[in-house]
Amino acid sequence: MNLVGLLTNPDNLLTIFVAVVCFATVMTIVMPMFNNSNLEARMKSVSTRREELRRKSREALANKSQGSSLRQTDEGVYKNIVERLDLSRLLEDPNVVEKLAQAGFRGPRPVTTFYFFRFVSPFIFAAAIGFYLFVVNDFGWPTITRVTATVAGLTLGYYAPNLYISNVAQKRRESIVGAFPDALDLLLICVESGMSVEAAIHKVSQEIGGASIELAEEMSLLTAELSYLPDRRQAYEGMARRTNHPGIKSVMTAMIQAERYGTPLGAALRVMAKENREMRLSAAEKKAAQLPAKLTVPMIVFFLPVLFVVILGPAILKVTDTVGMPK
C-alpha cells in the first residue's frame, strides 16, 4: 500500500518525470563524448554477407541448379512462433522487407522478429495500461474510460513496431544523405583516375566510413552484389530501394544507363554530386527556417518564467521588505 501511495502521489510523479528529463538531457550531452565508432563491426557484418553471397554463388555454379537461392536462412524461437501461429499471413505487410532493409535490417530473421513483436506488443501495451489504470491509479476515471484507454493501448502496440522501424530508417537515411555528395566526389575522382566501378565503390566505402557508417555499409554491400548477383542492375536498384532517397535513386539510374548504353559515367557523377549537394543545402536551409517556430514553445515555457523571476524578483523582495517594515 505504501508503494501504491508513492506511485499515485502527484508530487512523486512530477519528481520522477523531472528526474527522467534531467537524466535524458545529461545523457544526450555526455553520450557523444563516449560514442565509439562501430565501423569495424558494421564492415564485418557486410563482409559476412559478402562471403555468404560468394558461397551461395559457388554452390549455384557447382550444382547448376536453377532453384538455387542467395537468401539467408532463419532458425530460432521467433520463427517457430510465427510459423505455428501463421503470423506472416495473419499480420501480412507486403512492404515489410523493404521497410526493414531501409532501416538496415536484412535477411529473414528481422522479418520474423518484426511479426513476432507486432503480435506481442498490443498485449504488452494493453496489459501495462490496464494494470496501471485498474490497480495502481485510476485517476478518478469511470470504468468505460479506463477500458477505452486499455483498448487504445492495443492499437498503440500494434503500430509501435512500425513507428520504431520508420524512426530507425529515417535516422539511417539522414546519415546516408548527409555524406552522399562527398562520396560522389570521391567516386568521381576514382572513376576518372581509371579505376573500375567496383574498385571505385569499394575504395569509397573504405574512406567514407568516418563520415557515415551507414553509407560505408551500403556501398560495401553494393560492391558485393555487383560481384555476385547475376544482373548488375539488381544491385543498383537494390541500393536505391534500401536508401529510398530521390537523389540516390537518380544516381543509381545514371549508373544503370552508363552500364547499358556506355554513356560517360564521370560527367553524370559530377552533375549528380552537384545536385545532391544542393539538395543537402536546401534541407539545411529548410531546417534553419523552421527553427524560430520550433523554439517559440520552449522559450515561453522555460525561458520567460526564469526571465520574469530574475527581473521582477528583486523588486518584489524590496516591496515586501518595505511593506513589512514597522512604521
Convert the pLDDT of each residue in 37-61 to its tens digit: 555 665 556 566 666 666 665 665 5
Q: What is the pLDDT of residue 262?
A: 78
DSSP tag of 73: -
| Three-point CA angle 60, 64, 70, nearest 5° | 20
Q: Are 201 and 187 in contact (CB under 8 A)?
A: yes
Tell me the pLDDT band of 180, cut-offs 50, 70 and 90: confident
* Reported pTM: 0.66
Q: What is the pLDDT of residue 264?
A: 80
Tell me the pLDDT band of 91, cut-offs 50, 70 and 90: confident
Non-local CB neighbours of 221 within 8 Å, separated by 6+ positions: 46, 49, 50, 239
How far is residue 19's CA from residue 25's CA, in Å, rounded to a whole number? 10
How far is residue 304's CA from residue 297's CA, in Å, rounded to a whole number? 10
Of 260, 311, 153, 245, which is closest to residue 303 (Cα–Cα)?
A: 311
